A and B are shown apart, each in its own frame.
Chain A
Amino acid sequence: MTDIALTKKDFTSDQEVRWCPGCGDYSILSSMQSFLPELGIERENIVFISGIGCSSRFPYYLNTFGMHSIHGRAPAIASGLAISRPDLTVFVITGDGDALSIGGNHLIHALRRNVELKILLFNNRIYGLTKGQYSPASEQGKITKSTPYGSLDTPFNPVSLALGAEASFVARTIDSDRKHLTEVLRQAAAHKGSALIEIYQNCPIFNDGAFDQVKDNETKEGSLLMMVHGQPIKSATTGVIREGASLKLVDLNTVDESALVVHDAHDPDPSYAFSLSRLSGSSLEHTPIGVFRDVVRPSYGAMVHEQLDAVIAKDGPGNIEKLLNSGDTWVVE
C-alpha cells in the first residue's frame, strides 16, 4: 500500500444524500468514507457498482468511479469490469431484494468464480425502494403491503447461501457498529477474490427495529456470538461447542471456556462455516457476527490473465494476417 494522504472528505461526493432520516444506509456510508483512505488506493482506481434499491444509491455519494446499474445485475456488470481491469478495486453494493431475489443467479456465480469483487449486501429484510414488500430475507409470516395475511416463504440465510455458492470470504456485520463494520471491510479488502459481506441494516420506514435484538443494549451482548479468528466463539451468555460433526450452543455457565470452539476462519472445510451460519435463525437470538470464512483460492480475473499471458508466451502475440490466411486457402491468379 502506498501512503497517499487521502481523507474521508476526498471520498465524499458533492451529491446530497437522499435516504430517509435514520436510515441505516447513512452509517454504512459514513464508515465506508472513513475507511477508504486506509486502503491507500487512488480514488480513480476504485469503482462502486450497484443494482437498484435504496441501498444501491450508495455509489452517488462516493467520490470514486461509480455505476448505478439495473436491478440485480451489478455482480454481472462488475464481473466484466473486474475481469478486464484487474488494476481496479471493485465494490458491489446491493440490497436483499437486489442480491437474493432478482439477482440471485449473478450473486452465486460471481462467488463461485471468485471474481475479485467486494460485495456489500445491505440486508434490511424488506424492499425499501418499492415501499415495503417482503423480501427473500424477510422472516416467514411477515406482514407487509404485499402480504397482509403474512408471508409464506421460507427466507434465505444470505451467509449460508454464499457458503453454498463456494464463496471464499463471507462475513456479517451491523450498520451501526462502525468499529466492527470497518474491521470486516478491512479484512474483506485484504482478501484476494470475492468477498460477501452481509450488513444488517435498519429501515426505519418499512421494517423498523428488525435488528433490535442485536442492537439494543439489553439484548445485544447476549445475542451476538463474536467470531474472531483464533478466539473462542461466544456471546456474553452463550458459547459454541462441537457436537459430533456439527456445532451447538451452550450456556457459558455450564462449560469451561476451554471447551468452546476456537474460531478458524481459514478452515478449508466449508461445512464448519456453514454450521456456524445455521446457529442463527430469523429471530436473531444467537447471531454470529464477524468473518465466517476467509480462505485462499485463485481469483478469477487473475486466472483469466494468466491464461491469456500463457498463450501469448507460448504462441507469441496474434497476427491478423496469419489468422485470416489460416486453414485451406487457394490462389486465383
Chain B
Amino acid sequence: MSLMSKPIVAVKSVVIRFAGDSGDGMQLTGDRFTMDTASLGNDLSTLPNFPAEIRAPQGTLLGVSSFQLHFADHHVRTAGDAPDVLVAMNPAALKANIKDIPRGATIIVDKDEFTSRNLTKVGYETNPLEDGSLDSYKLHAVALTSMTVSALSELPLSRKEAERSKNMFALGLLSWMYHRPTEATEAFLKAKFSKKPDILEANLIAYRTGWNYGETTEDFANSYEIASAHMAPGTYKNIGGNTALAYGLVAAAHQANLPLFLGSYPITPASEILHELSKHKKFGVTTFQAEDEIAAVGSALGASYGGALGVTTTSGPGLALKGETIGLAVMLELPLIIVNVQRGGPSTGLPTKTEQADLLQAMFGRNGESPTAVIAASTPSDCFDMAMEAVRIATTYRVPVILLSDGYIANGSEPWKIPDVKDFPDLSVEFAKTQENFMPYERNPETLARPWAIPGTKGIEHRIGGIEKQDKTGAINYEPANHDFMVRTRQAKVDGIEVPDIVVDDPTGDAQVLFLGWGSTYGPIASAVETLRNNGEKIAQAHIKYIAPFPKNLAAILEKYPKVITPEMNLGQLAMLLRSKYMKDIVGYNMVRGLPFTTAELVEAAMGVLHND
C-alpha cells in the first residue's frame, strides 16, 4: 500500500459504528476492523446489534444491522456510549442510528444509496445529505457503490455481485483513516474465498480501492493514530463470549479427563456454542443436536450418568423447557452443566438482544425445593473462566450448575490474554469403585457429594430415579422425616459450595456507596466508576459472579457500605435476592431495552445516590 502522505492526528480513543442493511456484511466488516485493531495493541470492546430476521425487507429500518467498536490507547470497558464515527451504508442505517450520534461526529455515507426511492422507504421527505440537517456533523458523502462497481469493471461479475464488495471498500477507507494494518484482512479474504477466485479478487480490489480513496481524495484531510494500550505482556487474541465459553468447556473437560457431551437445540444467541463445539471432535467432544431442549438436557444427563461431562446450552425459552430434567438432575445428584445465554423475554421476546431477566428462572424455575448452583460470566473472556468453574462445581459437588451469560457478552468481544495451560486447575474426578454393600447416596462429609457411580462398574449395580430417596441407600422412601432431611441436605450441599470471595475495589477505602453488579453489567459499571473517580467522587465497585451460593464475604461487604446501587437489565432480580437474604436495602437501576447500559446513565444514577442526602 502507498505511504501515508496526509497529516496524522493522534487521538486517545475512538468509537466507530458500522451500520447497513442486514445483507450488507456489516458484522464481517466490523469483525475484520476489530481483528486489525486488536493486532495493533489497542484495547477494545465490541457490540454487534442485529435484527431478529435474517433478511428483513431490504433498505428498511427493521433490517438495519450494526457493529460498534470502541478502541483506545488505554483500558476499555465498554463498546462506548456514543460513536465518534458512523458509517451508514444506506438511508435506513442513517435514520436508525443518527439519534445516537453526538453533534460534531463524523458520518460517512454511501451517497449512491440515497435515491428518492430509498429515502421514501424510510420516511425521509428530503435528502438529509442536502437539506442541511446534518450540518453539525462532519459529513462525508462517498459514492461507495459506484466507485466499487467501477473498480471491479474488469472482472467477470454482474453488477449485483460487484456491489456486494462495497463493505470492503468501506473497510479499506476506515483502515486508511485509522492506520490499521491490511495484511491480516487480506490473508483472511484469501482463505475465505480460496475457492472463488473472482470474488476474492473483487474483495481485495474493493478493499485496496477504499484505502487508496482515503489517501488520495481531498474529502479526507487527516488520518488518525491511536497508540497501543498498556497491557500485560503475553499472547493475546480477540475473543467473543460464546467462543470463550466453548473453549472453556473443552479445556475443562480436558482438565477433568472426561469426554465432553453436548446436547443442544439451536436458539439465538446460544447456537454459536453448539457450532463451535461441533468443530472440536478431535478433543473427543460429542455434539448432539437433539429434537428439542428437553431431549438436549436429557441426553446430557444420560451422558453424565454414564461418566461423561454432560453439557447443554440454550437461551431463556429453552431453559424453561429444561426445568423438569434439571429437577431430575438435582434428585439424581449428577454433574450437569446448563448454559443459558440470556436474551430479551418473556416468550420469544427480543431474540437477538441482551437482557438479564432469567436470573430468578435459573434460581427457582423448577418444581419443589430444587437448588442448583448458579454462576454468571461478566465479560466475554470471563466466559472461559466461568465455564471452567461450572465444571469444577458440577463435578466436585455432583450438582447441576446453571451458567448465565447474555447476548451482550456472547456476541461482544475483547482482547484476551491467552492463559497458560500449565495454570489450569486439576479437575480430575473419581468414579465409585467396585465394592460390597455399595450405598449410592452415602455422602462425602466435606462436599456432601454422593458417589459418581457409573454403569460398567462391577458390584455397584443400583437403581436411581426422581422419586425421593432414602438417605444413604438411595432406596425409594416416602417417610416425612426422610424427605425433610433430604430436601435440607440437597440445599446444604449447594450452600456449601466453595466459591472465591468477592473483591471490592475501593481505592480510598472510605467510599459510602457501592456499585454492585452481576453478569454483563461489569463493563458499563467499571467504566462509570472510572468516570466518577476521575470527577473526584468516592465510589466502590464489586461484582457478583457466584449467585448460588453467594460468596461468604458478601454479607460483610453489604454491611460496610451504607448505600448499594445495583444496575440490572431486569426489574430488580438480584436486588430481590439480596434484600431477602441479607435484609439490605438495595437501590436498583433497572432498564430492559435489550441494550447494555451506557456509562453516562450509570454515572448519572450514581451521582443521584452520592449527592441526595
Contacts and interface: CB of A to CB of B under 8 A. Distances in A.
A80 B235 contact: no
Nearest to A105: B291
A323 B244 CA distance: 11
Interface in A251-278: none
B532 interface: no
Contacts of B303: 80-81, 83-84
Contacts of B510: none
A30 to B, nearest CB: 18
B298 A73 contact: yes
Contact of B421 (A45, A49, A73, A324): A324
B291 A109 contact: yes
A80 B327 CA distance: 17
Contacts, number: 199
A248 interface: no
Of A45, A70, A77, A308, chain B has the most CB atoms within 10 Å of the CB of A77
Contact of A78 (B263, B302, B324, B464): B302
B300 interface: yes
Of B238, B290, B332, chain A has the most CB atoms within 10 Å of the CB of B290
A130 interface: no
B160 interface: no
A47 B303 CA distance: 13
Given A44-B459, A320-B250, A332-B231, A68 B299 contact: no
Nearest to A44: B458
Interface string A68-93: 11100100111111111101100000
A333 B455 contact: no
Given A109-B295, A330-B38, A332-B231, A70 B463 contact: no
A81 B298 CA distance: 10
A308 B299 contact: no
B302 A81 contact: yes
A81 B306 CA distance: 6
B196 interface: no
B294 interface: yes
Contacts of A15: 463, 475-476
A105 B305 CA distance: 22
Interface in B415-437: 418-419, 421
B261 A84 contact: yes
A329 B302 contact: no
Contacts of B464: 66-68
A44 B435 CA distance: 13
B261 A80 contact: yes
B457 interface: yes
A3 interface: no
B460 interface: yes
Given A328-B237, A332-B232, A60 B282 contact: no
A59 B463 contact: yes
Of A66, A80, A109, chain B has the most CB atoms within 10 Å of the CB of A80
B39 interface: yes
B23 interface: no
A325 interface: yes
B310 A80 contact: yes
Given A66-B463, A73-B298, A106-B291, A321 B421 contact: yes
20 contacts: A44-B459, A68-B464, A68-B466, A76-B295, A76-B298, A77-B298, A77-B302, A78-B302, A80-B261, A83-B286, A84-B303, A105-B291, A109-B291, A312-B284, A317-B282, A318-B282, A324-B418, A330-B39, A331-B235, A332-B232
Interface of B: 35, 38-39, 41, 184, 228, 231-238, 247, 250-251, 254, 259, 261, 263, 280-284, 286, 288, 290-292, 294-295, 298-308, 310, 324-325, 327-328, 332, 418-419, 421, 455-467, 475-476
Given A52-B466, A324-B419, 10 more contacts: A42-B458, A79-B288, A84-B302, A87-B456, A106-B294, A304-B286, A312-B282, A320-B254, A330-B41, A330-B236
Top 3 nearest A-B pairs (CB, nearest first) are A68-B465, A80-B302, A80-B299
